Chain A
């Protein structure tokens, strides 16, 4: 499983990265969260908002930073 956060390098995007790391740690998934500031990747996925959380290349959260609990929920839902 690959968990990635794409952003334009802004503070909000870094926050999503930090929270996602925390979420995977708390879930005990043992995977590295990858952080990329390559905006073109966001466009290639057909999206236009930043930041994006993607699991195995599929965007699961777009354009906002929710609470850690919500991120955990989203990750759990998409890794079954």
Chain B
């Protein structure tokens, strides 16, 4: 499918830049051109499609759906809806308050809070473009399972007392009737959103793939495999720990990780790392302190972290 891009990369590398074939430099430059063009095309196409879907599903509508569901259906639906909802730590608090105060159960709300940042379109594109659809599918499926279970467990634990009291003392205002968008407005919205995201991530993508291309060309494979291959038990927990402070840079990190995998880091470790980067975010935890007790944040982070660790070990064992 991306064959024409490979031709373009080859032509630029060997025809225009006149780099001698079969050198490390040639392989790094070729790799860089191919991957960046591929990722930017995928970003534009996929984000456009997701934005069109999203224009039909603002959070206010999602909330109305979730407020009427039984607990387990709610966990599953919330996780699925989390995929198409963009997540920025700015919206964590309003989403949390809005859900809870409209009567959405705590467990369902947490399913959403896990899935929304973990499975986002940028991470999806990077996985699809750099790892292929199988790994992308494994990532999305495991992410959904983790989100559903984390939410279900928190729901079962009955920890409503760990939410700040003011949260339950208010009820959400009636949902405003957001004007229905015309088809043209949806297209404009999707186009604006694509440009927004591209503006935000292009530099990370270029740097990530650039450093990746350098590793691809210059770093020997056995060096990395020795420390992060499937045999070392601490690879997965270490990957999760490193991932926590790296929030929101999925665009720059996934290209690096993809090259590391090629150089011998095992797939389970890679998946755990990426999930930790997207789902466990220090800034988000700090913000959530406004609405819940630190104990609940710890519980939430702990349950999600265990889910990620299990995913990592599982796929290290079977892939």
Q: Which of B93, B170, B173, B196 contacts A45 (CB 8 A)?
A: B173
Q: Which of B94, B192, B287 contacts A49 (CB 8 A)?
A: B94
* B interface: dominant SS: helix
Q: Select from chain A the residue with minimum beta-carbon distance to B95.
A: A48
Q: Select from chain A the residue with minimum beta-carbon distance to B178.
A: A62
Q: Select from chain A the residue with minimum beta-carbon distance to B100.
A: A43
Cβ of B176 within 8 Å of any chain A Cβ, yes or no, is yes
Cβ of A75 within 8 Å of any chain B Cβ, yes or no, is no
B59 and A48 contact, CB distance less than 8 A = yes
Which A residues lie within 8 Å of B178 (CB)? 62
Q: Which of A44, A49, A50, A59 contacts B172 (CB 8 A)?
A: A44
Near A by CB (< 8 A), chain B positions 52-68 give 58-60, 63
A10 and B173 contact, CB distance less than 8 A = no
Cβ of B89 within 8 Å of any chain A Cβ, yes or no, is yes
Q: Which of A40, A45, A48, A63 contacts B63 (CB 8 A)?
A: A48
Q: Complex: how many Å from CA A50 to CA B94?
A: 7
Q: Complex: how many Å from CA A39 to CA B89?
A: 13
* A interface: dominant SS: loop
Known: A8-B287, A46-B60, A46-B174. A39 touches B93 (CB 8 A): yes
Known: A43-B98, A43-B101, A66-B192. A50 touches B93 (CB 8 A): yes
Cβ of B90 within 8 Å of any chain A Cβ, yes or no, is yes
Cβ of A36 within 8 Å of any chain B Cβ, yes or no, is no
Q: Which of A7, A43, A46 contacts B90 (CB 8 A)?
A: A7
Which A residues lie within 8 Å of B63 (CB)? 48
Q: Mark A13-45, 1 if CB is under 8 A from B, else 0.
A: 100000000000000000000000001101111
Which B residues lie within 8 Å of A51 (CB)? 90
A47 and B90 contact, CB distance less than 8 A = no
Cβ of B91 within 8 Å of any chain A Cβ, yes or no, is yes
Cβ of B87 to closest chain A Cβ, rounded Å = 10
Q: Complex: how many Å from CA A10 to CA B99?
A: 20
Number of chain A residues whose Cβ lies closer than 8 Å to a Cβ of chain B: 23
A39 and B59 contact, CB distance less than 8 A = no
Q: Select from chain B the residue with minimum beta-carbon distance to A48.
A: B98
Q: Complex: how many Å from CA A7 to CA B88?
A: 12
Cβ of B138 to closest chain A Cβ, rounded Å = 30
Which A residues lie within 8 Å of B274 (CB)? none
Cβ of A13 to closest chain B Cβ, rounded Å = 6
Q: Complex: how many Å from CA A7 to CA B92?
A: 11
Known: A8-B90, A10-B89, A43-B94. A49 touches B59 (CB 8 A): yes
Near A by CB (< 8 A), chain B positions 220-277 give none
Which B residues lie within 8 Å of A48 (CB)? 59-60, 63, 91, 94-95, 97-99
A63 and B101 contact, CB distance less than 8 A = no
Q: Select from chain B the residue with minimum beta-carbon distance to A42.
A: B94
Cβ of B41 within 8 Å of any chain A Cβ, yes or no, is no
Q: Select from chain B the residue with minimum beta-carbon distance to A12.
A: B90
Q: Which of B93, B98, B99, B196 contacts A47 (CB 8 A)?
A: B98
Cβ of A68 to closest chain B Cβ, rounded Å = 14
Q: Complex: how many Å from CA A39 to CA B92?
A: 11
Q: Complex: how many Å from CA A79 to CA B192?
A: 24
Which B residues lie within 8 Å of A10 (CB)? 88-90, 287
Q: Mark B93-113, 1 if CB is under 8 A from A, else 0.
A: 111011101000000000000
Q: Which 8 A-B pairs have the closest CB atoms?
A: A48-B98, A10-B90, A46-B173, A44-B173, A46-B176, A46-B175, A48-B59, A50-B90
Task: Return 6 A-B CB contacts under 8 Å, by A number.
Answer: A7-B90, A43-B97, A46-B176, A48-B59, A48-B98, A50-B93
Interface residues, chain A, with chain B CB atoms under 8 Å away = 7-8, 10-13, 39-40, 42-51, 59, 62-64, 66
